[in-house]
């Protein structure tokens, strides 16, 4: 059964197909109110998340899930990769042009291209541990980039939220994971700030 545990705990709709794995990895971070746990906090939690995520990925893509084991070092590696991935996805949002956020570490991850007897070409993750997970995530991100859907995967503009959502709006203009939760709070802050500025101008 498909269940993107990290994403659904924030009441978010999973991205289509295998891209949901990238989103779910991003949503392992601690966010929300009350604050949810970091699902990559230690090796045990990271393994539990990964087992479920790989099953869901297999259901979504109709491909066999790779067997990947994670050590405590891998949990750390995966948290670092998540950080880089977060910045990569952050550069997709509309106002990113004013504040370019280059990905800190340019990474190279092993993959294999396999041609099957039906003439289909498959990209497959290679390596072990966190690198293998990262390889699979980058394959999915790359495929989404080729079909121009990667720019719909975004992180909420509210820095205290930062959950990853898939923007299904027609013109891909969304910046909040939920406009009623994070958008309204920001609008209210702006409104109050403008009102204060306006009151100051009146007195001058
Ligand atoms: Zn949000």
- C-alpha of residue 11 to centroid of ligand 1, in Å: 11
Q: How far is CA 135 from the centre of its chain?
A: 14
- C-alpha of residue 36 to centroid of ligand 1, in Å: 14
Give, for 16, the enclosing helix (H) or strand (E): none
Find the Cα–Cα–Cα–Cα dihedral 90, 73, 112, 62, rounded to 10°. -70
pTM reported for the whole predicted model: 0.86
- C-alpha of residue 147 to centroid of ligand 1, in Å: 26
Q: Regarding predicted confidence, which is higher, 105 or 82?
A: 82
- C-alpha of residue 179 to centroid of ligand 1, in Å: 8
- C-alpha of residue 173 to centroid of ligand 1, in Å: 15
Q: Over the stretch 146-185, which tens digit does the pLDDT of each residue have?
A: 999 999 999 999 888 889 999 999 999 999 999 888 988 7
- C-alpha of residue 22 to centroid of ligand 1, in Å: 17
**Which residue spans within the chain are E strands per DSSP?**
111-115, 121-125, 153-155, 164-166
CB 8 within 8 A of CB 14: yes
Confidence at 187, pLDDT banded by 50, 70, 90: confident
Domains and CATH numbers, the chain: 5-203 (1.10.3300)
- C-alpha of residue 52 to centroid of ligand 1, in Å: 24
Confidence at 195, pLDDT banded by 50, 70, 90: confident
- C-alpha of residue 177 to centroid of ligand 1, in Å: 4
- C-alpha of residue 178 to centroid of ligand 1, in Å: 6
Average confidence (pLDDT) over 52-62: 97
First-to-final CA distance of the chain = 64
Average confidence (pLDDT) over 110-139: 96
- C-alpha of residue 199 to centroid of ligand 1, in Å: 30
- C-alpha of residue 89 to centroid of ligand 1, in Å: 15
Residue 65 per-residue DSSP state? P
- C-alpha of residue 30 to centroid of ligand 1, in Å: 12
Confidence at 204, pLDDT banded by 50, 70, 90: very low
- The backbone torsions φ and ψ at residue 195, rounded to the nearest 5 degrees and listed phi first, read -65, -40
């Amino acid at each position: 059964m498909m269940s993107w545990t990290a994403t659904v705990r924030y009441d978010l709709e999973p991205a289509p197909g295998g891209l949901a794995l990238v989103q779910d990895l991003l949503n392992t971070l601690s966010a929300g109110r009350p604050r949810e746990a970091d699902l990559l906090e230690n090796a045990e939690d990271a393994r539990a998340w990964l087992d479920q995520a790989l099953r869901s990925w297999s259901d979504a893509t109709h491909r066999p899930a790779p067997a990947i084991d994670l050590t405590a070092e891998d949990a750390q590696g995966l948290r670092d990769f998540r950080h880089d991935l977060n910045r990569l996805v952050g550069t997709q949002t509309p106002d990113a042009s004013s504040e370019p956020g280059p990905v800190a570490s340019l990474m190279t991850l092993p993959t294999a291209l396999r041609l099957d007897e039906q003439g289909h070409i498959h990209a497959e993750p290679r390596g072990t541990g966190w690198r293998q997970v990262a390889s699979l995530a980058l394959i999915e991100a790359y495929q989404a980039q080729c079909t121009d859907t990667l720019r719909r995967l975004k992180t909420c503009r509210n820095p205290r939220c930062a959950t990853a959502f898939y923007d299904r709006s027609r013109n891909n203009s969304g910046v909040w994971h939920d406009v009623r939760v994070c958008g309204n709070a920001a609008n209210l802050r702006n409104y109050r700030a403008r009102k204060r500025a306006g009151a100051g101008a009146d007195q001058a």
